[in-house]
Amino acid sequence: MKPVRTLIFTGLGINCEGEMAAAYRLAGASADIVHINDLFHTGISIHTYHILNFPGGFSFGDDLGAGRALANRLKYRRLPAGNRFIDELIVFIENGNFILGICNGFQVLVNMGILPNIRGAHEQEVALAPNDSGRFEDRWCTCGVRPDSRSPFFSGIQRLDLPVRHGEGKFVVSDPTIRDEIDKHGLACLYYSDECGHPTDRYPLNPNGSLFSCAGLIDTTGRILGMMPHPEAYLSSYNHPHRAELPAHEATGGDGLLMFRNIVDHISSGRTLHNHGG
């Protein structure tokens, strides 16, 4: 069993790095919190880590659209060695490593073109638009996991209760070809669900009106995951608003912690994924 190392970006408006680090540490991994500016000025190598993490927050105040300014900074900024960060990120993915983006981090991955990257050009293919409600949504939602999901984050998980807190979380796809590929390969792996566990467009169960009721998206490798709900905010039953009503088996760990344990166990055990094509 190999030790698992995770890197968590912070700075420039990111504010959920502490909770994400706690999640990985509780799951048995190490977690280094690194300011994005340090990445560009100190020569830190992402290739010494197994998972890169883009936490939630309000990068650059969301003034130019959620996650857009940070995505452009990461995509076009050059590292001390002269190469672009996006090129290093592509190598990181090709080497079989993992990337997780939550809320604002999901928006960053989408705007960079890292996710879903159907065409392989690392250009933006989908978007996270303003919520149908026209306001910031801060509530708990129930999410379902597609049975055919290839993401090891969701191994053995069928549903999760998780909080959302976003103003721009509506998953939209304007290109019908991209939309069909996402549907064909089951890339919208996490969905907002109704009381019976089915995908729903009904507000407030679906807080934003996403296409496919999408709450989370993977790429075709299954190694890149972006999601709007916050698993790092549900690490203990004490986080849940209805803690006293939870079944006995949920009395200690939260649903979000299950995801982090899954990915740490997957990497630690040396299991690999096989790309089934885009």
Q: Does 232 qualify as catalytic in the annotation?
A: yes
Q: Does 103 qualify as catalytic in the annotation?
A: yes
Q: Which residue of the set 125, 137, 168, 232 is catalytic?
A: 232
Q: What is the DSSP track for the chain?
A: ----EEEEEEBTTB--HHHHHHHHHHTT-EEEEEEHHHHHHS---GGG-SEEEE--B-GGGGTTSTTHHHHHHHHHPBPTTS-BHHHHHHHHHHTT-EEEEETHHHHHHHHHT-SS-SSSS-----EEEPPTTSS-EEEEEEEEE-TT---GGGTT--EEEEEEEESS-EEE---HHHHHHHHHTT---EEEB-TTS-B---TTTSSS--GGGEEEEE-TTS-EEEESS-GGG-SBGGGSTTGGGS-GGGSSB-HHHHHHHHHHHHHHTT--------
Q: Does 166 qualify as catalytic in the annotation?
A: no
Q: Which residue of the set 16, 103, 143, 214 is catalytic?
A: 103
Q: Which residue of the set 185, 230, 240, 266 is catalytic?
A: 230
Catalytic sites, residue numbers: 103, 230, 232
